[in-house]
Structure 1
Amino acid sequence: MSSVYYDYSTFSDGRTFTEIYQNFNQLENLNIIEKLWGSYYYYMGNDLFATGLLFFLTHELFYFGRCLPWAIIDRIPYFRRWKIQDEKIPSDIEQWECLKSVLTSHFLVEAFPIWFFHPLCQKIGISYQVPFPKLPDMLLQWAVFFVLEDTWHYWFHRGLHYGVFYKYIHKQHHRYAAPFGLAAEYAHPIEVALLGLGTVGIPIVWCLITGNLHLFTVSIWIILRLFQAVDSHSGYEFPWSLHNFLPFWAGADHHDEHHHYFIGGYSSSFRWWDYVLGTEAGPKGKKLREDRYKKQI
């Protein structure tokens, strides 16, 4: 029986998911998401398998689910006015080749460690029980994860642009000078593991230091990070794009210039590392560096 909840004394015998949900629905201290979460773990009956399946399906559904709208937009001429490199539309063949490579990576590189995540959670104290932590606690953790992951990504991504690291590892990701959503995880297995460690490893370190982290928080963090990665590779700049309202947010224009010019623009979510260290890509970055230099002389 699952350890997702501490007291099943009021539960009736339930075999279907609906019957199990009715048991959790009696618990007034749980919200609907917590009830669904608890019902899922109880229904699966094996917490290790439940976590592995949950994280694998979450990754696949939200990654490809977020890629699909961009793939459709690429086929609709109306949206070309917002395409950053409007002369470079990914062909069906490019999309298909990219899809096959990404799927291979998901099943041969990422699937294996996902199935061992639950024992790690138990060992270091990542909770998966209901109820969940309070929303302010989760908001704080998501904000910290975004900032720390961006730092990790900047330095390791920048390192992958040097010499043999670029030639034998990172060059694969730069096959597409005009990125598209599906290409977000088109990368060498070593790069997938190295940069992916920033996404998964930072919450692990957070838990080791604070002893306070929930698996639901981690799952939502991964979804947010997937959306950020796919959107930054979309190749589209809209008037309603997030960086137009949050100037420090990187967005598609920031990462598109990185693919276009191959150097600069190494951050994932924010612009401040590239701004402070003078590594912004493209003509705007060049002009900014020149203006800084003129002020110094």
Structure 2
Amino acid sequence: MNVTSTVHGEPCEPVLQPLWQYMKAGQEEILLSPYLLASFGFLTHVLLCAPFLVLDALGSVCERVQGWRIAAGSGPPPPLRRWYDCFWRLLFKYLTTILPATAVVQMLRSPNLPDLAPSCWQLFVEVFACFLLFDTLFYIWHIMMHRVPWLYRNIHQLHHQHQIPFALAAQDASSPELLSQLLLALGCASVVGCHPMSEALFHLLNSWLAVEDHCGYDLPWGLHRLLPCLGGAPYHQAHHSLYSWNYAPYFTHWDRLFGTYYATVMDSRTENIHQLHHQHQIPFALAAQDASSPELLSQLLLALGCAWVVGCHPMSEALFHLLNSWLAVEDHCGYDLSWGLHRLLPCLGGAPYHQAHHSLYSWNYAPYFTHWDRLFGTYYATVMDSRTE
């Protein structure tokens, strides 16, 4: 796997081989030290937080930085005193718990340093696999800490003292929780069978994502803006504010699948297309198509594509477009009409169903039928469903 190509029948060294040799040269004792993991974890966390300390300092004087602060009552950046207190709490926990515990774990692991570096593909696959596994295991563990009262009180509650988190607070948790996260990360790297270079990169990126998730800023260069599969700081700050949503640390697929996903009032990645339509918190009939040009065009292309895939007769296609328009108008009309189609066909949501979407944003995504929302846990019923009263 490390051999990427051959020249005259002889294997070529991996591209990363010079870097790996430089890391190993005269430093094997350090790389194999049982204290390296805790030291690396603490130092990288503090260094990665430094840029956000600068942003917090600028936040009180620079309007541009203030504009990056996540809305919904996040308030001003934390004062320097909170950073100072948090730093000493973290240092104490690392020295008294994390350092000795990880030293024992490292001695039991007995890591070795292979001669060859990983190939670039191997590095990517191993790091990505570690993230997927860690995200899954932490999602389960995080839900347990919230749903089991004893675990929440004794392990997780300390981390939730920060309703509006800041970068350094990413690791401001109880010693058992810090240790559990570190053991989860180590376990993922062991299960995947990572090369030491892949494992180091995984721990580095893991620390960066945790810091970014807690930073309190929706930065224009945030990874969640580049990779839609990531939740980012807005996603995790919603967890700190609401407690019962967005349990996964980085990716959003488990929360979406199990109905624990909560979107902010307007997801920053969709504001360029969908925000215009949501100016109508209480919609009316004509507003069914009051959307941005890209969104209107996408809806028309979707409808045309469906008719083309099905192979509709022109008369069938015309009737489909007519009924599609009528259902959109009825969904946005603002009236729970006694002759509404949703009263005749229980599979349809109707105006009450769609108005709940405009009011709550994170529920009832399907346009007409309700089965997908029910299946994926995004269905929200009104207080009294008009069809059952």
In the alignment, is the contact (CA less than 8 A) between 2:117 and 2:197 conserved in 1?
Answer: yes
Higher relative contact order (CA 8 A, sep 6+): 1
Counterpart in the other structure of 1:210: none
CA spacing shift, 1:167–1:157, aligned 2, 3 Å: same
Judging by fraction of residues, say which structure has more helix.
1
Residue 199 (structure 1) aligned with residue 185 (structure 2):
yes
Deviation per CA, 1:41-85: give whole Å up to 9, x if none: 35x4x87xx433433332232111101111111110221110114
Q: TM-score, normalised by structure 1?
A: 0.78
In the alignment, is the contact (CA less than 8 A) between 2:235 and 2:264 conserved in 1?
Answer: no
Residue 213 of structure 2 is aligned with which of 208, 217, 232? 232
Cα distance in 1 between the residues matched to 2:86 and 2:36: 25
Residue 238 of structure 2 is aligned with which of 241, 257, 267? 257
Counterpart in the other structure of 2:361: 287
Counterpart secondary structure, 1:36: helix
Q: How does 1:1-297 map to 2 (within 5 A)?
A: 31-42=17-28, 44=29, 50-77=32-59, 78=62, 79-85=65-71, 86-122=74-110, 126-162=111-147, 163-207=149-193, 213-281=194-262, 284=265, 287-291=361-365, 295-296=370-371
Q: Give the residue type in structure 2 aligned to 1:34.
A: W
CA spacing shift, 1:206–1:197, aligned 2, 3 Å: same
Counterpart secondary structure, 1:267: coil
Cα distance in 2 between the residues matched to 1:28 and 1:288: 47
In the alignment, is the contact (CA less than 8 A) between 2:238 and 2:246 conserved in 1?
Answer: yes
By how many angstroms is 1:294 displaced? 7.6
Instruction: Give me the CA root mean square deviation.
Output: 2.7
Q: Give the residue type in structure 2 aligned to 1:177.
A: Q
Q: Give the residue type in structure 1 aligned to 2:154.
A: Y
Structure 2: 5+ residue runs without aligned partners? 1-12, 266-356, 372-380, 382-389
Q: TM-score, normalised by structure 2?
A: 0.61
Deviation per CA, 1:83-105: give whole Å up to 9, x if none: 11441421222211211111112
Counterpart in the other structure of 2:283: none
Cα distance in 1 between the residues matched to 2:258 and 2:179: 26
Counterpart secondary structure, 1:132: coil
In the alignment, is the contact (CA less than 8 A) between 1:181 and 1:235 conserved in 2?
Answer: yes
By how many angstroms is 1:155 displaced? 1.0
By how many angstroms is 1:118 displaced? 4.3
Cα distance in 2 between the residues matched to 1:295 and 1:247: 25
Q: Give the residue type in structure 1 aligned to 2:34.
A: G
Cα distance in 2 between the residues matched to 1:116 and 1:58: 16
Counterpart secondary structure, 2:82: helix
In the alignment, is the contact (CA less than 8 A) between 1:52 and 1:114 conserved in 2?
Answer: yes
Cα distance in 2 between the residues matched to 1:266 and 1:193: 18
Cα distance in 2 between the residues matched to 1:219 and 1:84: 31
CA spacing shift, 1:138–1:175, aligned 2, 3 Å: same
Of the two, which has the highest radius of gyration? Answer: 2
By how many angstroms is 1:130 displaced? 2.8
Deviation per CA, 1:247-274: give whole Å up to 9, x if none: 1112111101111112211011101111
In the alignment, is the contact (CA less than 8 A) between 1:237 and 1:252 conserved in 2?
Answer: yes
Deviation per CA, 1:125-148: give whole Å up to 9, x if none: x54133222221121110100001
CA spacing shift, 1:266–1:28, aligned 2, 3 Å: closer
In the alignment, is the contact (CA less than 8 A) between 1:30 and 1:130 conserved in 2?
Answer: no
Q: Give the residue type in structure 1 aligned to 2:67.
A: R
Percentage of pairs with the same residue: 23
Counterpart secondary structure, 2:146: coil
Cα distance in 2 between the residues matched to 1:266 and 1:28: 38
